Amino acid sequence: MLIQGIQLRKNTLNIYLLTMLIGFAFGSILLLVMSILYNAGIVKDNEYTVAVVGTLMSLILFFAVYVFWGMSEINTNFNKFIGFGMTRKKFFLQEMFSSYAFIGISMLAICVLYYIELAILKIPFYRQYVYEELFSTKVLMVVLLCVVICAPVFRMFLGALLLKYGNSKGFWIIWALWMVGCMAPGYIHDIIKEGPQNGMQEVLFRMVMAVIGVPKPVWILLGLAVLAVFLIISWQMIRKKAVE
């Protein structure tokens, strides 16, 4: 059943891999052009450095496609597969299993591209420049592991939201969640740095201070609990959704 889900969605993996290759090629060509322009004196920078731009662009483009394509794909797959008689439980399990399989393969591909780019930056042309480490190998591996664990859950959650509330209302709900996710860290940072200025900030400040000292194993358990909650909510939305 689960392997069948991968076979039914194999085009999705091809899109992910193609997206990463396009991003990698774009970033690599951009770095090459900038280096050539710097050698020609057109780009003037006293601290010109080279970095794994191809890997970075590959990651950025992949996540953009993964989020937006993933949300609409769940909507499309639901109406197609449920319409042909697949149970909601089977659909949900296949979506999660194939999503984990595809993102695991995709992150492995990112690792391969990263080491390829490191090798490219060691050729004589690039060795004349200072190498700027955007992220260490250890940090990259930790980030990719977190992505593999978390991304499929959030893809399912966002897709279920879009499925339940439709393209119009669902888009605004997702946009609101996105804005909260973007603005909340900066808002909390300002409160910690400058201190609370009102009652609501005082409560938020105390909550943040209370969780900062939480041991790492507890954070991991809390993170897994949050993912479980998102999965349960996603299943409930899909379980009650009718085919359109």
Q: What is the mean pLDDT of the chain?
A: 81
Express each pLDDT in 20-46 by its tens digit: 999 999 999 998 888 888 877 776 767
Instruction: Enumerate residues 6+ apart whose C-beta is below 8 A from 65.
Output: 15, 16, 19
For residue 18, pLDDT over 70 is answered with yes
Residue pair 116/26 in contact by the 8 Å Cβ criterion: no
- Decide: 199 and 124 in contact? Cβ < 8 Å: no
Give the predicted TM-score (pTM) of the model: 0.77
Is pLDDT at 135 greater than 90 in this prediction? no
Q: How would you class 32 by CB atoms within 10 Å of its CB: exposed for 0-12, middle for 13-18, buried for 19 or more?
A: middle
115: confidence class by pLDDT, cuts 50, 70, 90: very high
Residue with tokens 């900038």: 34
DSSP alpha helix (H) spans, the chain: 2-8, 10-39, 53-77, 83, 88-120, 124-127, 137-194, 199-212, 216-239
